[in-house]
Amino acid sequence: MKIHFIGIGGIGVSALAQYYLEKGDEISGSDLASSEITDFLQNKGVRIVISNKAENIQKDFNEVIYSPAVKSDNPEYQEAKRLGITLKSYPEALGELTNQYSTIAISGSHGKSTTTAMVALILIKAGLNPTVIIGTKLKEFGNNNFKMGQGEYLVIEACEYDGSFLNYNPHIAVITNIDKEHLDYFKTFSNVVKTFKNFILKLPAAGFLIANKEDKNLVKISKGKFTTMYYSTKQKEAIKLKKILKIPGQHNISNALAALEVARILHIKDFISFKVLSEYKGSWRRFEVKNGIANNKKITVVSDYGHHPKEITATLTAAREKYHNKKIWCIFQPHQYQRTYYLFKDFVKNFRLVAIDNIIITDIYDVAGREEKNINEKINSKVLVEKIARKNIHYMTLNEAEKFVKENIKSGEVLIIMGAGDVYKLVNKF
């Protein structure tokens, strides 16, 4: 089969493209900009085009799969429709795949990538040979976000944005938490909760829900014909995990407990799970620690994907626990004008409370196709910094932030580079 992917540079879409490539299909894809991911796919034999044009669609394509970010006025989408080629969204295509396996879907507003990674690595160590589609790159997968397995299990990260996970049919569902996230789509928190409830109800009678007992909203909706298993950082295993986990923070103890519960449902021995969890060093941009240099000064650089107020607090609190006597800097790039607007008060409150020595907030990363018209006139980073109004907080561009930190950071200090946009490119400058 010939399959073309629109938006192939997306973290989920790229994993699905690799699945079909492994199956022997002929794969092509397009994106608006080249990236590490598109380069990686090209090296694996995928034909990549950096543009969105009608001529990228060939008559002999069997299917065109498109990213949720792609709108119906996209020229490639329009051309595929005109030619009568089967069109599927990424969630629809992944949903079809979930029917072919015994699927374990990990969802939640925060922590799903880390939990998915932990679950996948435990299953691999136990010899279950799962196929894995995850929203981050793992060193254990050769710095990839995909692994083809030969076993009966499919482990996927299940995103709630756009109701994507309602296309999936898992046998085991994990929900780490429910929070005020993706309000550009959901509008209200009650809509977020309702959508998670609909996802839960997709579980069959013989299925399992693994839910965080410390999330009151989740507990309220976690009843059904399936079996519900709860986990909590108050259970005895949390003490052991705190001692053995290499990745810091209470939130990661919680993620590990969720993974442990999946393993127990699959009758994987605890000693295997604890060994895997003790060896897990984290994934791409999830508290990823590197040795850095700033004007010949040796520093520690932490790259993190956190972009929601709760994720920011969790990461910065974990950093303070890990580097309790060191001076900590943070360069944060807000992700999406709408998220910044809807959660403005939470950003202000959380940044006021975190025990970080120097904070730099850069310009908001504009997410194409997902912003309300003129929303950038209502909100910007300068206003956010002024409202936070704490000592040693600055608004700067990315270039200014790099220069300022290099000139002022001292040897032995810690720099956290945080956000879901292109701020990660700064990591290579240190």
Positive or negative CA dihedral for 215, 416, 106, 268? negative
**Residue with token string 């679950």:** 119
Partner residues linked to 309 by β-bridges: none
Nearest to 10 by CA among 115, 135, 108: 135
The verdict on whether residue 307 carries a ligand-binding annotation is no
Number of H helices and E strands in the chain, helices first, is 16, 18
* Cβ neighbours for 296, distance < 8 A, ≥ 6 positions apart: none
Q: How far apart are CA 31 and CA 270, in angstroms?
A: 43
Q: At what angle do helices 250-265 and 237-244 cross, to 10 degrees?
A: 120
Order of strands, sheet of 26-31, starting from the edge strand that comes earlier in the sequence: 47-50, 26-31, 2-6, 63-66, 86-89
The verdict on whether residue 406 carries a ligand-binding annotation is no
Measured CA to CA in angstroms, residue 319 lies from 257, 289, 355, 361, 427 at distances of: 21, 11, 9, 18, 17
The verdict on whether residue 108 carries a ligand-binding annotation is yes
Q: How far apart are CA 112 and CA 105, in angstroms?
A: 9
Partner residues linked to 300 by β-bridges: 291, 414
The verdict on whether residue 251 carries a ligand-binding annotation is no
The verdict on whether residue 110 carries a ligand-binding annotation is yes
Integer-rounded Cα radius of gyration of the chain: 22
- Cα 250 to its chain centre, rounded Å, is 18
* DSSP codes joined into one string, 241-254: HHHH-SS-SHHHHH
Helices marked H in 266-308 — which ranges? 270-279
Question: Quick one: CA torsion of 280, 285, 289, 292, rounded to 10 degrees?
Answer: 150
List the structure tokens of 17. Answer: 């493209």
Contact 359, 320 (CB under 8 A): no
Start-to-end C-alpha separation, the chain: 44
Binding residues: 108-114
Binding residues for ATP: 108-114
